[in-house]
């Protein structure tokens, strides 16, 4: 008898600040719709944010998507990195540098994962306004695996110049 593969709800952060970021995010959302063994359930609006790292780079456009997937965490990571590469992403040693597309697994069901390639919940999830506010738009009652509610985190993290853009995904 074949083993039943469980479907998990997953949240993915999207970000871009090069090569027309709005177009990059729209294209990334279309690619997420095509992921094998997965369904795109929701996408937040798009948000403009200041860069986290070096300030001599363009502002970012960010969003969060919710997927239901049967892919294992590493399989999903590989698929997301393939989408990044298809969008011209080049991985560099410099952290928080400019990029055509960044796709991060923020949450994978209620799992905690710590491996060489993947940390879930995403290590910056609890401090980044450009993740928390879009996430709250599509999952306002969400609780992290540690039990902290998204609403508590939102009360602790200011907007920091984050603004919702009018040209967003539907």
| 89 noted as active-site residue | yes
Q: How far apart are CA 38 and CA 7, in angstroms?
A: 8
Residues 33, 59, 78, 102: which is the catalytic one?
A: 102
| 33 noted as active-site residue | no
Residues 59, 78, 91, 104: which is the catalytic one?
A: 104
| 95 noted as active-site residue | no
Residues 89, 91, 117, 128: which is the catalytic one?
A: 89
Residues 56, 95, 99, 117: which is the catalytic one?
A: 99
Active-site positions read 89, 99, 102, 104
């Amino acid at each position: 008898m074949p083993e039943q593969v469980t479907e998990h709800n997953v949240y993915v952060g999207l970000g871009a600040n090069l090569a027309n970021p709005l177009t990059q995010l729209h294209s990334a959302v279309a690619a997420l719709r095509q992921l094998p063994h997965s369904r795109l359930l929701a996408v937040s609006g798009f948000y403009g944010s200041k860069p986290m790292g070096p300030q001599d780079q363009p502002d970012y456009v960010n969003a969060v998507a919710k997927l239901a997937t049967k892919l294992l965490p590493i399989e999903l990571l590989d698929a997301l990195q393939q989408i990044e590469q298809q969008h011209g992403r080049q991985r560099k040693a410099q952290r928080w540098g400019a990029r055509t597309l960044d796709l991060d697994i923020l949450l994978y069901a209620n799992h905690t994962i710590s491996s060489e390639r993947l940390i879930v919940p995403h290590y910056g999830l609890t401090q980044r306004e450009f993740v928390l506010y879009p996430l709250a738009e599509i999952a306002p009652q969400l609780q992290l695996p540690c039990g902290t509610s998204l609403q508590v985190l939102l009360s602790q993290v200011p907007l920091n110049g984050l603004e919702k853009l009018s040209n967003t995904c539907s």
